[in-house]
């Protein structure tokens, strides 16, 4: 009965963590991670190199050390894409693994063996880069649609000495990025003022998710945990990452390295994943029997709230 085993070990770990760490001693902290990069896809406004440079410049300006999770097929399989990934490692960021072609392990068409091969193939491409760590970020945050796949990946990652690079602060930056690109494709001359509603919606979205996941961590763990933020290697972050970092600082959150975040015992948990594709905190909540309604729909709505508000503004 895996559910019983998992509930028990999860509760034990939760209780131990609560006893050891007094919440008031710790300010809220967050580490930054970027998936699906580096991307050589064309977008309006900035070249792939310029997007990469802009994200790295924003991180450097704020002295933030982040993690890049490489989907090699998006760029790193080519020398010019690998150079973009190398720039992250050279700047002191972690370079981790996010497969070759971003398959979905929850798809019946993707076998466990295929998925494992994707991890190994990506590893071969990134292993020589500076900053390389054996950290694996599941694509779509989905760990498999069958127990065999999920357990198979858990033992594979252990054998390969790979960490499951969990996310706790999940966002829909990709959805707002899609909207930004769509608006710029329709109106290449759009001014900063034209784009301001999207920038505001993006920042408001991240703030809402940050506060909601902080509240969920307090509820599940009885304390603030170091949050692992998921963003993507995309145009919206090339344009506005500086504002994103500033907003966290204005909220009095401390920005830490991904390694500092993963040192917290919460990231060693292996909760049951009743619903895939989501934050470790949602998996923990579901493993404890909390419903979607109870956990909060706006943690899982793919940014629908912000997209609907932008539509009402004619965007
Ligand atoms: Zn991804």
**pLDDT single digits (tens) 185-223:** 999 999 999 999 999 999 999 999 999 999 999 999 999
CA angle, 242 then 204 then 207, to 5°:
80
Taking residues 153-181, report their average pLDDT.
Answer: 97
Query: Per-residue pLDDT for 156 more than 70?
Result: yes
Share of the chain above pLDDT 70, in %: 90
Using the mean position of ligand 1's atoms as its centre, give its distance from the Cα of residue 190 in Å: 28
The pLDDT value given to residue 220: 92
Concatenated DSSP letters of 34-62: EEEES-----SSS-HHHHHHHHHHHHHHT
**Residue 232 CA to ligand 1 centre (angstroms):** 8
User: For the chain, what are the domain ranges?
Assistant: 7-312
Structure confidence at residue 33 as a pLDDT band (50, 70, 90): very high
> How many angstroms separate the alpha carbon of residue 27 from the centre of ligand 1?
29
CA of 315 from ligand 1 middle (Å) equals: 26
CA 104 – ligand 1 centroid, Å:
10
d(CA 44, CA 273): 38
Query: What's the 140 CA to ligand 1 centre distance in angstroms?
Result: 5
Q: How far is the CA of 199 from the centre of ligand 1 (A)?
A: 22
The chain-wide mean pLDDT, for the chain, equals 90
Q: What is the pLDDT of residue 273?
A: 61
Task: Give all strands (DSSP E) within 155-226, no chain letters.
Answer: 163-164
Q: What is the pLDDT of residue 4?
A: 39
Distance 141 CA to ligand 1 centre (A): 8
Ligand 1: distance of its center to the CA of 242 in Å? 22
- d(CA 296, ligand 1 centre) in Å: 23
Residues measured by CB to lie within 5 Å of ligand 1, the ion: 35-36, 139
**Banded model confidence at residue 15, pLDDT cuts 50, 70, 90:** very low
pLDDT at residue number 274: 55
- 302, pLDDT greater than 90: no
**Ligand 1 centroid, distance to 64 Cα (angstroms):** 21
pTM assigned to the model: 0.90
Name the residue among 245, 311, 207 with its Cα closest to residue 57.
Answer: 245
- Dist. CA 100 → ligand 1 center (Å): 11
* Res 187: pLDDT: 95
Query: Which CATH number applies to 7-312?
Result: 3.20.20.370
pLDDT digits (tens, 9 = 90+) for 232-249: 999 999 999 999 999 999
Residue 151's CB is within 10 A of a number of other CB atoms, namely: 15
Confidence of residue 10 (pLDDT cuts 50, 70, 90): low
As a whole number, mean pLDDT of residues 116-133 equals 98
How far does residue 139's CA lie from ligand 1's centre (Å)?
A: 5
Q: What is the pLDDT of residues 79-110, one digit of tens each?
A: 999 999 999 999 999 999 999 999 999 999 99
Taking residues 142-156, what's their average pLDDT? 94
What are the distances in angstroms from CA 75 to CA 103, 180, 302? Answer: 16, 22, 25
Q: Which of 18, 3, 5 is nearest to 217 (CA)?
A: 18
| Ligand 1: centre distance to CA 34 (Å) | 9
Range 147-156 average pLDDT: 94
In the reported structure, the alpha carbon of residue 36 is separated from the centroid of ligand 1 by a whole-number distance in angstroms of 5
What is the pLDDT averaged over residues 133-140?
97
Please tell me whether residue 296 adopts helix, strand or coil conformation. Answer: coil
pLDDT class for 7, splitting at 50, 70, 90? very low
- Cα of 45 to ligand 1 centre, how many Å? 23
């Amino acid at each position: 009965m895996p559910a019983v085993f998992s509930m028990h070990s999860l509760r034990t770990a939760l209780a131990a963590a609560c006893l050891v760490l007094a919440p008031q001693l710790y300010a809220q902290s967050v580490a930054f991670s970027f998936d699906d990069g580096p991307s050589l896809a064309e977008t309006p406004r900035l070249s792939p190199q310029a997007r990469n440079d802009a994200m790295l410049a924003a991180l450097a300006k704020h002295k933030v050390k982040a993690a890049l999770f490489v989907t090699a097929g998006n760029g790193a399989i080519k020398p010019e894409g690998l150079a973009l990934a190398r720039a992250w490692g050279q700047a002191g960021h972690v370079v981790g693994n996010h497969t070759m072609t971003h398959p979905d392990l929850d798809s019946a068409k993707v076998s466990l063996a295929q998925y494992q091969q994707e991890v190994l193939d990506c590893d071969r491409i990134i292993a020589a880069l500076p900053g390389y760590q054996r950290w694996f970020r599941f694509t779509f945050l989905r760990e498999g649609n069958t127990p065999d796949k999920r357990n198979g990946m858990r033992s594979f990652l252990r054998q390969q000495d790979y960490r499951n690079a969990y996310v706790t602060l999940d966002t829909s930056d990709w959805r707002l990025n899609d909207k930004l690109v769509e608006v710029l494709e329709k109106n290449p001359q759009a001014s900063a003022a034209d784009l301001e509603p999207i920038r505001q919606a993006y920042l408001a979205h991240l703030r809402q998710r940050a506060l909601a996941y902080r509240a969920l961590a307090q509820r599940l763990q009885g304390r603030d945990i170091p949050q692992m933020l998921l963003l993507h290697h995309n145009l919206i972050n090339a344009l506005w990452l500086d504002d994103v970092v500033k907003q966290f600082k204005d909220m009095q959150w401390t920005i830490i390295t991904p390694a500092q975040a993963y040192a917290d015992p919460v990231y060693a948990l292996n909760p049951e994943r009743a619903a895939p594709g989501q934050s470790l905190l949602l998996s923990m909540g579901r493993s404890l029997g909390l419903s979607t309604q109870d956990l909060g729909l706006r943690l899982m709505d793919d940014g629908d709230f912000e997209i609907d508000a932008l539509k009402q503004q004619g965007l």
